[in-house]
Amino acid sequence: MVRPADGLTSIGLDFVDAQVEASVLGVLATVETELRASVASADPLVTEAARHLVEAGGKRFRPLLVALGAQFGDPTAAQVVPAAVVMELTHLATLYHDDVMDEAPVRRGAPSANSRWTNSVAILVGDYLFARAADLAADLGTEAVRLQARTFARLVHGQIAETVGPRAGADPVAHYLHVIGEKTGSLIATSARFGGMFGNASPEHIAALTGYGETIGVAFQLSDDLLDIASESTQSGKTPGTDLREGVPTLPVLYALASDDSDAASVRLRDILSAGPVTEDDLHAEALGLLRESPALKRARETVRSYAEEARQQLSPLPDTAPRRAMESLCDFIADRTS
């Protein structure tokens, strides 16, 4: 089993204060236990398939934001852990569906559910996890159910927008950032909001946490996309250049395609990228090398930094305490991790 601290190491969180660290890690440890209990079913196959990604681990970024948000009220409040479980179950459900849509063979270092049990089973297990999340949200009250449903609606809109692609004449970069906001920022925003709500923080603090979650979520996803190009290792959790090989148009690629730079390297890079997925090994290596040295990658890094800085500014209404400084440390880490 993955311990909570394992995922936090990869996130780059500095707790600043030992008491805050103990409190957050305590919440996350309980979340791990409750996640396994919450996906149990009378059907052994459903239980096995539903626990597949739970037991594969992960960063638990969304429960982390719940736990941190609760620090601005009462982090020991009884509803904090269930709220974190609701957010993680919702996230895990989307992963089952994403793997079917992407035809992904592997997730978190293990065979994906769709490759192990078929697409139909993976889709239905994702639906089951959504249902379990909604069931738990009902115990948190009407407002929690409404927020979880609205967040799910944003996730679906984001997936549809990504699947359809930008409309004719639309800016591909703006479309891409919109998709990330809907697919990633929305759930992380609700996670931070749930932490404040169920930790009984003030309305002003809940609003600040929500804005922070939305922005830091976009920044974190963008930085993951950059790592797919910039890292020499598997720091991003997958083989570098995977998105390039699969034809996924991440921010550096979109910036490169939109560039009007006339130098030979930029022209060559646009020629390669405009042809679609870069699957041939030599061409893939060339494109990856050109991207790593391109103005497009530098511009994408600047975009990540701007989102990280905006997230920091969203925290300004919160008291200057250890929990706030811990959340600021995430901004620093995200801004620096792809440098």
d(CA 150, CA 292): 38
pLDDT per position as a tens digit, 52-68:
877 877 789 999 999 99
Does the pLDDT at position 143 exceed 50? yes
Mean of pLDDT values over 120-137: 90
Phi, psi of 107 (to 5 degrees): -145, 125
pTM, entire model? 0.90
Mean of pLDDT values over 146-162: 94
Domain with CATH 1.10.600.10 in the chain: 1-201, 202-321+331-338
Angle, vertex CA 89, rays to CA 24 and CA 67, nearest 5: 15
Which CATH architecture group holds 202-321+331-338? Orthogonal Bundle (1.10)
Task: Give the model's confidence band at 50: pLDDT under 50 very low, under 70 low, under 90 confident, else very high.
Answer: confident
pLDDT per position as a tens digit, 231-279:
765 444 557 788 888 888 899 999 999 999 999 999 999 999 998 889 8
Secondary-structure class of domain 1-201 per CATH: mainly alpha
